[in-house]
Structure 1
């Protein structure tokens, strides 16, 4: 089993558990150059709020798009947009990645902005 298939297996397991909880989920994706986060409603069909380092409003004033400060900006933006849309409590879906580094920075910034996990 290679690294990516192991990550996808972990992600599948986590998402199955979140589906049983029936709460909206904050899912994150980390690519080589950018960070993405979105809040998906409990049914799994609609994106309630989203933010990424591709958006001008998020990456203004950042030195790069793949560091901890960029991750914090994405977390804060997605939390603010989610709360504005009426979702203030979510389950954190880390997509099978370690809760470390940029993934942890997104989660911490979202918590500080008022999103409850």
Structure 2
């Protein structure tokens, strides 16, 4: 039987559908946040591969952060993913907030990525 989608899944699908229409060939910067960590990936949907990624679980970030679930951690991940994307040759992306409200950790990650050179 088909499983009924929850509100979060419908919201994520709605956001992703709008992003695909607006992307014009640009890779997307996708964000996932859990209660303890935050993750970011730059994904090329045309080829279906990840170009750059960063998370609070990485050794160099984990030691320097108080926790992986605050705004400071999100800023560090945003800066790191922007640097890695630039090294991979990506300058412009489209931001995929994955259904999360653009506030708090998600906004901090996006602002840090912008300050580090990504355009969106």
Normalising by structure 1, we get a TM-score of 0.91
Q: What is the root-mean-square deviation in Å for CA atoms of aligned residues? A: 1.4
- 1:1-117 matches, cutoff 5 A: 5-20=6-21, 21=23, 22-43=25-46, 45-117=48-120
Contact 1:51 1:58 in 2 (8 A): no
Contact 1:7 1:95 in 2 (8 A): no
The alpha-carbon distance between structure 1 residues 113 and 23, as it changes in their structure 2 partners (threshold 3 A), is same
Give 1 or 2 for the bigger CA radius of gyration: 2
How far apart, CA to CA, are the structure 2 residues paired with 1:5 and 1:92?
A: 23
Kindly state the Cα deviation for residue 96 of structure 1 after the two structures are TM-superposed. Answer: 0.2
For structure 2, the residue ranges without an aligned partner over 5 or more in a row are: none
Contact 1:59 1:70 in 2 (8 A): no
Runs of 4 or more, structure 1, over 6 Å off, are none
